[in-house]
Chains A and B, each alone.
Chain A
Amino acid sequence: MSTLETTLGPSPHVDTPGGERYTDIINLARVKAAHVPFYTQREAVTADGNTAAALASLQMWRAIVYPGFPITPSTKWIETVAAKVGAQKGTPKRVKLLEAEHAVADYIAGACGACRDLVFITATSSVGLDHMTETTRSLGASGFGNAMIIDVYRATANYPLCIEGDPSDAMAHRDDGFIQVCSRGKQQIYDSIVQLPCLGMHPEVMTPTMPGYYGIKDSHRNAKFWVESDAAVHEFQDRWIHECDLPGTINGDTAMGNCVTSRHFQGFKVAQKRRIERALELLPQIGADFERTFGRPGLAYFDETGFDAGKPADVVVVGMGPDYGTFESVRDAWTAKNGTTTAGIAIRLINPFPREAVRKRLAGAKVVLVVNQAHHSGRGHLTLDVADALHGVDNPPRIVSAFCGMGGADVSESTWEVMLDEAKDAITTAPRQPYMVFHEGARL
């Protein structure tokens, strides 16, 4: 067993399954003390989603280097981080602009491996996330819960090019091994980013996180939200995040990404699946603590609309993102006009998919209208997840699978109404097609 000799004598160390960890190499207390607060008190801010994400990223004392490469619609995240860091005297924080997204992901891998107790955050979109793929899979497999990639949803294709938001990038990366949480609205964006390191860095989770929000529809839309003081953010995060047991390459005798044979590879994957499933149990606990602390809803599997206790709705909508809000706004009028009760859930945790919770919420419904906004070769990512969740349920509801809003297309009130009409028809008649596409109040 090796021992690190310094001028002060042998460094105290502990044995871990990942090698020795030297306990006096990194002084986290000094890192925390060096943090220069951006907000000393709670403030209402009017800004867009990228700014909300940037402010949350900046307030963490554990985040001191922000690697990035700009891509629409996430560019303003790094612009804001860079402007705020540049304007703040005495801050130890630095922004590292790299050559491309692949370089950013590699940088994060190296930095997360060097120090498991610091958080490394970047933001990207669409093909930017695609460019990172080789490394994102490694981040997911390496237990780097201190890695956070903010995904500003944008359609994934360059032919044709579309810079607006649909979640096809997030959906295409569900096997990267990240905890993926969708937010809608500026407050949720800010709050989710504050909470997610608590989940990702939990010793039983150790899984990177990918908070996301719709490009343009949320990234570029301004609204008022609350920003907590840096001190309050630190106090909350410090309740959940503790010094990592595993060594990093700076403070340990360890290596990352060693080659393993098939004899062990599957074992690593089983452990990876178990850790991400553990996130399912911990996420509501962190969300509840957040709500107790700040008085706003914290992380949750999904947002709920219109569920009366003990009385199942005829039609339950499953959607995600800001367009779900339009459903909320038309729901009362549509219900009154049609005499069909409706409720809905807006999925927030898209990976791991909260099957059991979704199953319970959809039980008793006659029809489930699943609204997909990302291109999928079949019935839709969300539809397949919902079908999986309903597997084995007695008298399962019929599933009406809808596509709309792809490429960030507007999902108008009339589009919601015609989708709900289709779901209502399915109460008595099987859906006419495995999936349908809707736009501007019409079924295409």
Chain B
Amino acid sequence: MRTLDPRAILEESALEVRGDGKAGGGLVLAFQSLAALFSSLPNTHVQEWPFFSSARRGANIRSFLRVSAKPIAVGCEVTRPVITLLMDEVAAKAQDFAEGVPHGGTFVINTRRTPQECAKHFHLSGRVMTVPGDDIGMQHLKHAIGNVSAYVAMTEAIGGLPMDDVVGVFLGQLKKRRIPDVLIERNREAMNATKAAIQVGVFDEARPGDHASTKFEGYGVLPIGAQTRLRLSQNNKTATYARSGFRLVFEDPTSACTGCSHCITNCPEGIIRWTPDAETGLKVHGADVSSFCKLCGECIEICPEKLFKEGKFEDHWVESEPQEARS
């Protein structure tokens, strides 16, 4: 299939880029660095901004970037990006990161998965670039933060940007934030390690209607004064606020659950799954982590048999648990 060349688009008109991630994950820094990189070029105009509302750490956020050889007048959000970045796979649970991307666009994803796996999973048609940014961050920065690698991957996706400039601008952004020199050097190492870890493939996995822009259907009935339901509401999917990259895992291969119910009474979201049991009263067999588990850790702390733990999101990637009524 034919892919869109970001560099050619930039030369002809304006390059529009969008990113999805979670607050605290470094998405804003990655986009600010891209803006600074293009800003350093002569006769290039940029427009870059994040959208995060009153977000707290872990909430979904978006970033936008426009680059053009002409002054940029347009002020609306980017809805048809040629390149889109998914900084955190969990963010894709609440937001279609590929929405509006034209056929043949570029999808940059911070993941351990291959481009082919991602194309199939997210139904993508175009150029798919993956980079295990969190792993690279862990290795060099002792922190699972993928924005360093995602930024490098984005510059590769756009093309034509010398690596020295790519690195220099990002490190310049860190210096502005008064990051210690030792950490700046580690960021440099992480950036240099990224290029070899980027995988690229071209796929055509989108089905008709996939990633189409959602049509605004009106606001519906709004409660007066934005009166909200309680946090336990089924509508407030608190899982999107969970710690990035991890999810709750329940394992009880020896049927050790004693039915003490501590996890059930302490779970603030009421999502522990259980069934009646003639011997112990009840048996816990997991938690609905699809929508509501924010990884508060209450069940992990309280379970006397240590049956709950945190697992890496990557290891539990496939969405297997259906959303159920809570306990």
Contact = CB atoms under 8 A, between A and B. Distances in A.
Contacts of B46: 46, 222-224
Interface residues of A, number: 36
B122 interface: no
A46 B53 CA distance: 23
Nearest to A441: B216
Interface in B51-78: 51, 53-54, 72-77
B216 A439 contact: yes
A220 interface: yes
Interface in A429-444: 439-442, 444
B26 interface: no
Interface string B215-230: 1101100000110000
Contact of B48 (A161, A217, A222, A442): A222
A317 to B, nearest CB: 13
Given A163-B53, A441-B216, A413 B47 contact: no
Interface stretch (A29-37, A92-100, A142-150, A324-332): A324-332
Contacts of A163: 53-54
A326 B218 contact: no
B35 interface: yes
A223 B77 CA distance: 15
Contacts, number: 78
Contact of B76 (A160, A222, A326, A444): A326
Interface in A204-225: 216-217, 220-224
Contacts of B74: 325-326, 328-329, 413
A222 B47 contact: yes
A221 B218 contact: no
Interface residues of B, number: 27
Given A46-B36, A220-B50, A412-B77, A444 B45 contact: no
A164 B53 contact: yes
A325 B216 contact: no
A116 to B, nearest CB: 37
A217 B79 CA distance: 16
Interface string A290-331: 000000000000000000000000000000011111101100
Contacts of A410: 76-77
A159 B225 contact: yes
B246 interface: no
B47 A440 contact: no
B194 interface: no
B75 A325 contact: yes
Nearest to B223: A160
B102 to A, nearest CB: 15
A328 B73 CA distance: 7
28 contacts: A46-B39, A46-B46, A48-B49, A159-B226, A160-B226, A161-B54, A161-B226, A217-B49, A217-B75, A221-B49, A222-B32, A222-B46, A222-B49, A223-B47, A224-B46, A324-B75, A326-B74, A326-B76, A328-B73, A329-B73, A410-B76, A410-B77, A412-B76, A412-B79, A413-B74, A441-B216, A442-B216, A444-B218
